[in-house]
Chain A
C-alpha cells in the first residue's frame, strides 16, 4: 500500500517568514495530494490540493508543488501569521473512485510573534 512520510514533525518560524513542509510518497500510481490543517482541538480541514497533471498550485499565501519523478510534494506558506499555527497533514491517494487517503504523520507549525 501507499506510504507517506512527512518532515519536519515540528517547525517554528518568525511571523512574516515562510514555512515549508515536505512529504514523500511511495506509490507511483498516486495522483491526488491534499493538505489538511488541524487547529488545536478541532477537526482537520482541507486547505489546498493538487493533482498529478499539475506541478504547482497557489491560493493566496499557500502553495503546493509536486515532483512526480521524485515522488515528493511540498506545502509553502508565505508571510506567516499567528493564525497559521496548527498541525498540517499531507496525504496521497491513487483515486480509483474511492478517494482513500493515506496521511502523513503531521507537522506542528508554530508562528512566533
Chain B
C-alpha cells in the first residue's frame, strides 16, 4: 500500500496563478482532509470531506476550493494564488466510524507564491 500520496512535492507560483494539489489514498478510508502548516501555527484545517460526495469548510477555507472526485481522491485548488498561501500543504485520510480515528498524512506539498 502506498498510503496517502500527494502531487506535486514542490511548486512555485506567481501571484494570481492557479493550481490544483492532488491527493489520493489507497486505504479505503471514508474521510479526507487538507491542512496547511506554517511556522508556529501548527496544522490548520482548510477543508475536509467526511465521505464521498460531501465537503465542508475547516478553519481557514478562504482562497481555496476542493473536490472529492471519488472515494480515493481529494483535490485542493487555489484559483488565484497569493503570497499568504505560501505554506506546506498536507492531505490526510481516516477511517470514519471506527474505534481508531487515526489520521494518515501524505508527504506534503511545499508551495511558494511570489
Contact = CB atoms under 8 A, between A and B. Distances in A.
A82 interface: no
A98 B93 CA distance: 11
Tell me which of A6, A89, A97 has the highest count of chain B C-beta atoms within 10 A of its own C-beta: A97
Contacts of B100: 49
A13 B21 CA distance: 38
B71 to A, nearest CB: 16
A99 B97 CA distance: 9
A6 B41 CA distance: 11
Interface residues of B, number: 25
Interface in A84-113: 89, 93, 95, 97-106
B42 A43 contact: no
Interface in A23-52: 32, 34, 42-46, 49
A45 B108 CA distance: 13
Contacts, number: 57
A34 B42 contact: no
B103 interface: yes
A95 to B, nearest CB: 7
B50 A98 contact: yes
Interface residues of A, number: 24
Contacts of A49: 100-102
Nearest to A44: B105
B3 to A, nearest CB: 9
A103 B103 contact: no
A77 B103 CA distance: 22
Interface of A: 1, 6, 9, 32, 34, 42-46, 49, 89, 93, 95, 97-106
Interface of B: 31, 33, 40-45, 48, 50, 56, 58-59, 90, 94, 96-97, 100-103, 105-108
18 contacts: A1-B59, A34-B101, A43-B106, A43-B108, A44-B43, A44-B105, A45-B105, A46-B102, A49-B101, A49-B102, A93-B101, A97-B97, A98-B48, A98-B50, A99-B103, A100-B33, A101-B43, A101-B45
